[in-house]
Chain A
């Protein structure tokens, strides 16, 4: 017998012996081991900890009573969320306009310079009215809200509020057959769905983890906030006076977010009754102590790591998207630009769900990054029509409403579609890496898309019925 064979034999013996002993212990091994460990841990802790007993009930105890109370817990949650939205909208308005004005001024100046230098018009158009304009929109529309929203959210997280949210939502998630920790992974999705999908690793049961992965898409991420915030600001808040307007805009964002949470619960329920049957597993959720947020560090990390990172991603995605749009708009077939052909082909489908062909085209171009949906729409529109100066939200409203017939129904349809449609390609890739299953990746991609079409279609039908 060779050494290798001997070793193999030895391994077989070992495993057989282990199996026999395992059988003899008759399933009680874990329990016995765990109880030995607990016994010792208790003994050691008792001998080395002295509790002086004068533990004062601090404000945190009282705050927790409110934050996790069955009656006050939810309203407090809504209040905090609404406050964050309101501060974001109110605070971002002015800086956005300032940045937009600056960047669009530069567009005009640079285009003029190119003209004077005798550069060919296609180059000026491609570079400044195509690529630069896309970038300018991304920066001016996305930077200020993100620079406000992310730090606020991170401070809340640092403070320790998220586990309380999970605690409050636990009962809801359990009732729909999902895992209570899904509230946490959902909260991560508010930042980035790909990160949200990775964070589902805290869920042990594969069934519940899949539910959390598939439904993570229903909370709006970085890339979709700007679209939602913009629609809320220029359409829903527009008829109201300035002060009330931002409240209304915040309320509409709230409504969209809550609808996303509602859809998360509905779809989780549907999945746990059909494809992913089972009963929710029990877990213990630790409520950590509230900790004083480290404000400066939070500002730094959320500005550098999140805001700039997301903005950079948007910029490197928007530049090629701007180029694609410009090429589609300037390649003529049969007298019409290519982009018109595509948009026209998509138009009937778009109308069915309250949008149009250009918006659908923008969504296809924006699959790599949802950040660029609005800039793509603007680029496509402003190419089709005469070149206009888009240096304010008012001008944008003019472009969308007066020239392309957008209404509040279009705005709400866009918000709904933005909330529900398929995840971006980074998230899809992450889902594939986490599940290693083509089937579940496909489900996670096409289920939300289907739901988006159905919900939007129903919304349009209801509006048509009443109007």
Chain B
């Protein structure tokens, strides 16, 4: 899908394009969010990209706050945000809310959903939900080595066709696939690559209700791209979305749902760094 589009031959070596910038995240060109189920290797990928050393652990839920770093690749400067692992974006625990709010309101230029190739079905639940919110998605099909060991073959091409977004096979722990991923992300954020994300085929009752709300939402928030998702949250009766709409804070701030608390935490985390 991505391949190397060698407009400038100098930027196209397979290695050495990545410059890790650590926490130096000012003046970035593009914002990338790393999402995914718990324990799929988001933080491993985050560390590999940013050169930071966020503590990784082999248990689901290690990352409960979002951490931020930066890197430069092919001359573009990226800010990358490591989100807490979530199984879905529908429930209400605090770590899931942080992830959901960021994808909804953080305006990332690209969401990389890190997926565990050994448990594709469960991981796809989240991918499908992210695809409802944004078109700018790249799926990092991680842990390919473990899948192979388990005797599973995951067809990345087929998966990409089904999902309508690029799928990059990876072994993040060993750095395999990182270059391919970055190239794909670059193609996406620069507009060289268009996605056609699959939308969840809704139950007819729901679809009808969604259609009734859509015109209102489009009218009120012409700049947001995820009206369908908002409609679904309203139908669900999500109180935080209702509140955000009522106070008309949706289209304005980065994260209208839980603004100050998260800030406090990242500060504290930085201070603790344990």
Name A54's contact: one of B61, B151, B159, B216 (CB within 8 Å): B151
A residues near B93, Cβ cutoff 8 Å: 201-204
Query: Shortest Cβ distance from A31 into chain B, in angstroms?
Result: 10
Chain A minimum-CB-distance residue to B91: A204
Specify which chain B residues have a CB less than 8 angstroms from the CB of A36 in the assembled complex.
200-203, 206
Within 8 A of B (CB), among A383-400: none
**A11 touches which of B201, B245, B268 (Cβ 8 Å):** B245
Query: Is residue B58 contacting chain A, with contact meaning CB distance below 8 A?
Result: yes
B219 engages A10 (CB within 8 Å):
yes
Q: Give Cα A241–Cα B268 distance, bound, in whole angstroms.
A: 46
**Complex: A181 Cα to B94 Cα, angstroms:** 15
CB distance from B43 to the nearest CB of A (A): 12
Q: Is the CB of B200 within 8 A of A162?
A: no
- Judging by beta carbons under 8 Å apart, are B235 and A18 in contact? yes
Chain A residues within an 8 Å CB radius of B237:
19, 22, 29
How many Å lie between the Cα of A22 and that of B59 in the bound state? 37
In the complex, the answer to whether A42 meets B159 with C-beta atoms within 8 Å is no
Point out the residues of chain B lying under 8 angstroms from A35, CB to CB: 203
Q: A289 contacts B203, CB within 8 Å? A: no
Say yes or no: is B27 at the interface (Cβ < 8 Å to chain A).
no
Q: Restricting to A160-218, which residues have a CB under 8 Å from any CB of B? A: 160, 162-163, 166, 181, 184, 191-192, 194-195, 198-199, 201-204
Nearest Cβ on chain B to A347's Cβ, whole angstroms: 36
B162:A44 contact, CB within 8 angstroms: yes
Contact in complex: B201, A40 (CB < 8 Å): yes
* 1/0 contact string of B246-269 vs chain A (CB within 8 Å): 101000000000000100110011
A289-313 Cβ-contact flags toward B at 8 Å (1 or 0): 1110010000001001110010000
Q: Is A159 in contact with chain B by the CB < 8 A criterion?
A: yes
Do the beta carbons of B274 and A41 come within 8 Å of each other? no
One digit per residue, 1 when the CB lies within 8 angstroms of any chain A CB and 0 when it does not, for chain B 17-51 equals: 00000000000000000000011000000000000
A377 to B207, CA, bound (A): 70
Inter-chain CA distance A42–B218, complex, in Å, is: 31
Chain B residue at smallest Cβ distance from A283: B93
Which residues on the A side are within 8 Å of B150 (C-beta)?
55
Contact of A38 among B125, B212, B217 (CB under 8 A): B125
Complex contacts, B153 vs chain A, CB 8 Å: 49-52
Given contacts A22-B236, A49-B152, A305-B53, contact A163 B59 (CB under 8 A): yes
The interface residues of chain A lying within 8 Å CB-to-CB of B152 are 49-52, 55
Q: With the chains together, A40 CA to B199 CA distance in Å?
A: 10
Q: Among B90, B124, B129, B234, which residue has its beta carbon within 8 angstroms of that of A18?
A: B234
Determine if B193 is an interface residue (Cβ-Cβ < 8 Å): no
Task: Provide the A1-37 mask, 1 if CB < 8 A to any CB of B, else 0.
Answer: 0000001101101110111011011000110111111
**Inter-chain contact A30/B90, CB cutoff 8 Å:** yes
**Residues of A close to B59: CB separation below 8 A:** 157, 160, 162-163, 166, 184, 288
Contacts of A436 in B (CB 8 A): 261
> Is B95 interfacial (CB 8 A cutoff)?
yes
A48 at the interface (CB under 8 A from B): yes
A433 within 8 A of B: yes
Answer yes or no: A116 CB below 8 A from chain B CBs: no
Q: Give per-residue flags for B56-72: 1 if the beta carbon is below 8 A from chain A beta carbons, else 0.
A: 11111100110000000
Q: Contact mask B83-116 → A, CB, 8 Å, 1/0?
A: 0100000111111000000000000000000000
Q: Is B4 an interface residue (CB 8 A)?
A: no
Known: A14-B216, A204-B93. A199 touches B61 (CB 8 A): yes
Q: Which residues of B contact A (CB under 8 A)?
A: 38-39, 53, 55-61, 64-65, 84, 90-95, 118, 120-122, 124-125, 127-129, 146, 149-156, 158-159, 162-163, 173, 198, 200-203, 205-206, 209, 212-213, 216-217, 219-220, 231-232, 234-237, 242, 245-246, 248, 261, 264-265, 268-269, 272-274
- Nearest 3 pairs of A and B residues by beta carbon: A204-B93, A45-B121, A202-B61
Residue pairs across A and B with Cβ atoms less than 8 A apart, 14 shown, are A11-B246, A15-B245, A22-B235, A33-B232, A35-B203, A36-B201, A41-B124, A49-B120, A49-B152, A49-B154, A52-B153, A157-B59, A195-B274, A309-B273
